[in-house]
């Protein structure tokens, strides 16, 4: 073989390869411009003392009625700011993540514990799977506490932090409970409609500790100790969440910032599908990959159910009473989504492959839902009555339909794209766990 021919043999495939790569980047760049895809805005720097105060509160079980649960129990840095199980185990539970076990006569929390990545971004205007907390400091906040929500909350994330402590199964406990020291749980005795008293009592608990008093004084020098409310604790918790859980340096972010080598080919093909014919970005749109609207996508119903509709969870419908909101849940954001399983509002799916497959044919996946991957105790809770399944299917959002069927290869590419949304830094946030907290309660389960 002459050298000239050899060059041709190598050069032609290389040219073809180069051409397809350029074409893929062109395609993706075109979509990025057409759909105006941008990275989230950077968050403002947080006061380090406030972050430290928030960190201690986030890990302190003092905030729960029985002194046995902290925010970190369900939003743990070593578990991608969630708890790695389908439905959380709150008050009365022991252990962390997959090892966590239920207390006697307790029930699971009805919805999956979401990650809290990037929830301090300016773009967020809803909280919870049913968006029951929403708004902004400028427009005012909407929340289940209505006019009882105190003044002085600095942002939506702080408003959210007011509520886990009022929830009986998450943190507050049941009337008649005793705390881990055998003392009566005074927080659980307060009437549920009196959130402001719950917040006041909790703040009294917190301010008993000199370290907390010192930190609050530094963070709020102009407010007398007796005028401090739980909203000030909530502001500090939000500052900590922003500082610790803002993670926006995934390969996809790097690609958006101009580094075309940040994604491999499968990830680029996946992105083209995601923003193109797979139609994912109809709902998973904007800098956080969510429209923050509610949609029913026919997710199998498992768990104890929520509110008046128990054992069913009607989702956003319970807030609005609008027919189109029946079984609708807020589109989840997708940054770091590969780390945050199990997925969906109730953790019904244990793999991202199943999540993608469900989106492509919700009817079939709902009808043929396989419960064997669920924790044993949740398997019998799958609501499989024909009538319910029919109601769920009837109301499925018609934007869910992809333009055409996707091949196995295309589904794999979509999966690769979802993995490109992971910020490597997420693996390192376990460093932020404090060794001890002012109450002296154990930090590690
Ligand atoms: C027992 C588990 C548990 C504990 C403890 C807990 N959470 Fe949550 N958290 C959840 C669940 C479940 C949801 C979703 C509930 C819903 O949507 O109805 C949630 C939602 C959130 C959200 C909203 C995220 C979003 O995407 O809308 C934030 C932020 C959050 N929690 C922060 C906190 C903070 C701060 C604390 C402590 C004050 C805390 N959580 C305590 C389970 C828990
Ligand atoms: C009609 C709006 C809509 C479209 C289109 C859509 N999704 Fe979703 N997606 C949702 C909603 C709503 C949920 C949560 C549903 C629930 O839990 O009940 C969800 C959940 C997810 C989750 C799980 C996230 C988590 O944290 O639990 C992933 C991953 C996901 N979608 C990826 C995709 C992909 C990939 C596509 C394109 C094939 C897509 N979605 C298309 C609305 C949509």
CA of 164 to the centre of ligand 1 (A): 6
Model pLDDT for residues 28-56, shown as the tens digit of each residue? 999 999 999 998 889 999 999 999 999 99
pLDDT at 64: 98
Full-model pTM: 0.95
Q: Nearest to residue 186, comparing CAs of 177, 171, 70, 195?
A: 177
- Extract the tokens encoding 415: 């999966």
pLDDT at 401: 75
CA of 287 to the centre of ligand 2 (A): 15
Model pLDDT for residues 182-208, shown as the tens digit of each residue? 999 999 999 988 999 999 999 999 999
Model pLDDT for residues 314-329, shown as the tens digit of each residue? 999 999 999 999 999 9
Give the position, in ligand 2's atom list, of the atom nearest the Cα of 337. 26
- Give 1's pLDDT tier (boundaries 50, 70, 90): very low
- Give 229's pLDDT tier (boundaries 50, 70, 90): very high
Per DSSP, 8 falls in state H
Contact assessment for residue 400 and residue 297, using Cβ atoms and an 8 Å cutoff: yes
pLDDT at 7: 62
pLDDT at 374 > cutoff 70: yes
Model pLDDT for residues 269-281, shown as the tens digit of each residue? 999 999 999 999 9
pLDDT at 403: 65
Q: Ligand 2 pocket, 301 CB below 6 A? A: no
- Give 253's pLDDT tier (boundaries 50, 70, 90): very high
Q: What is the mean pLDDT of residues 292-321?
A: 97
Choose between 439 and 39: higher pLDDT.
Answer: 439
Domain residue ranges in the chain: 48-247+427-432, 280-401
Ligand number nearest to the C-alpha of 414: 2
CA of 55 to the centre of ligand 2 (A): 31
Preceding amide of 16 cis, omega within 30: no
- Give 444's pLDDT tier (boundaries 50, 70, 90): confident
Give the position, in ligand 1's atom list, of the atom nearest the Cα of 110. 12
Residue ID of nearest Cα to ligand 1 atom 29: 116
Locus of tokens 């969630």: 82
Q: Ligand 2 pocket, 288 CB below 6 A? A: no
Residue ID of nearest Cα to ligand 2 atom 42: 331
C-alpha 294/C-alpha 286 separation (Å) is 15
CA of 113 to the centre of ligand 1 (A): 6
CA of 363 to the centre of ligand 2 (A): 15
pLDDT at 3 > cutoff 60: no
pLDDT at 193: 86
Residue ID of nearest Cα to ligand 1 atom 10: 113
- Out of 82, 111, 129, 284, mutate this one to test ligand 2's pocket (max ligand atoms within 8 Å of CB): namely 284
C-alpha 268/C-alpha 260 separation (Å) is 10
Contact assessment for residue 395 and residue 363, using Cβ atoms and an 8 Å cutoff: no
Do 280-401 and 48-247+427-432 fall under one CATH topology? yes
Q: Which residues line ligand 1 (CB under 6 A)?
A: 63, 69, 71, 73-75, 88, 90, 109, 111, 113-114, 116, 119, 127-129, 157, 160-161, 164-165, 170-171, 237
Domain 48-247+427-432, second-level architecture: Orthogonal Bundle (1.10)
Contact assessment for residue 352 and residue 341, using Cβ atoms and an 8 Å cutoff: yes
State the CATH class of domain 280-401.
Answer: mainly alpha
């Amino acid at each position: 073989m002459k050298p000239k021919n050899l060059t041709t043999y190598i050069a032609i495939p290389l040219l073809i390869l180069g051409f397809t790569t350029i074409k893929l980047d062109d395609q993706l760049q075109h979509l990025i411009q057409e759909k105006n895809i941008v990275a989230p805005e950077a968050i403002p720097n947080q006061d380090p003392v406030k972050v430290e105060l928030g960190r201690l509160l986030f890990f302190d079980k003092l905030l729960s009625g029985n002194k046995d649960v902290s925010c970190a129990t369900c939003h743990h840095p070593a578990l991608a700011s969630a708890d790695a199980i389908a439905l959380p185990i709150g008050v009365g539970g022991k252990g962390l993540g997959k090892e966590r076990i239920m207390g006697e006569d307790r029930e699971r929390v009805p919805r999956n514990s979401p990650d809290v990545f990037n929830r301090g971004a300016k773009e967020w205007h809803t909280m919870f799977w049913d968006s029951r907390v929403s708004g902004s400091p400028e427009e005012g906040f909407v929340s289940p506490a209505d006019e009882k929500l105190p003044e002085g909350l600095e942002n939506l994330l702080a408003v959210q932090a007011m509520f886990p402590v009022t929830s009986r199964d998450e943190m507050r406990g049941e009337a008649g409970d005793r705390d881990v020291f055998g003392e009566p749980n005074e927080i659980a005795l307060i009437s549920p409609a009196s959130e402001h008293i719950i917040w006041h009592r909790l703040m009294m608990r917190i301010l008993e500790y000199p370290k907390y008093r010192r930190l609050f004084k530094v963070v709020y020098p102009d407010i007398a100790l007796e005028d401090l409310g739980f909203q000030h604790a909530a502001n500090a918790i939000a500052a900590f969440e922003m500082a610790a859980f803002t993670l926006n340096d995934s390969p996809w972010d790097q690609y958006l910032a101009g580094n075309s080598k940040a994604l491999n080919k499968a990830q680029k093909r996946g992105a083209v599908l995601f923003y193109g014919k797979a139609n994912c970005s109809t709902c998973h749109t904007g800098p956080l990959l969510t429209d923050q609207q509610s949609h029913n996508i026919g997710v199998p119903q498992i768990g104890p159910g929520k509110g008046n509709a128990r054992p069913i969870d009607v989702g956003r419908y319970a807030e609005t009473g609008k027919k189109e909101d029946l079984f609708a849940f807020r589109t989840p954001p997708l940054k770091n989504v590969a780390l945050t399983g199990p997925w969906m509002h109730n953790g019904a799916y244990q793999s991202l492959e199943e999540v993608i497959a469900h989106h492509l044919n919700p009817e079939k996946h709902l009808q043929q839902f396989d419960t064997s991957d669920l924790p044993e105790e949740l398997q019998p809770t799958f609501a499989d009555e024909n009538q319910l399944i029919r109601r769920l299917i009837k109301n499925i959002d018609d934007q869910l339909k992809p333009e055409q069927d996707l091949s196995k290869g295309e589904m794999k590419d979509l999966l690769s794209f979802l993995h490109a949304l992971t910020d490597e830094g997420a693996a390192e946030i376990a460093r932020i766990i404090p060794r001890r907290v002012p109450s002296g309660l154990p930090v590690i389960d």
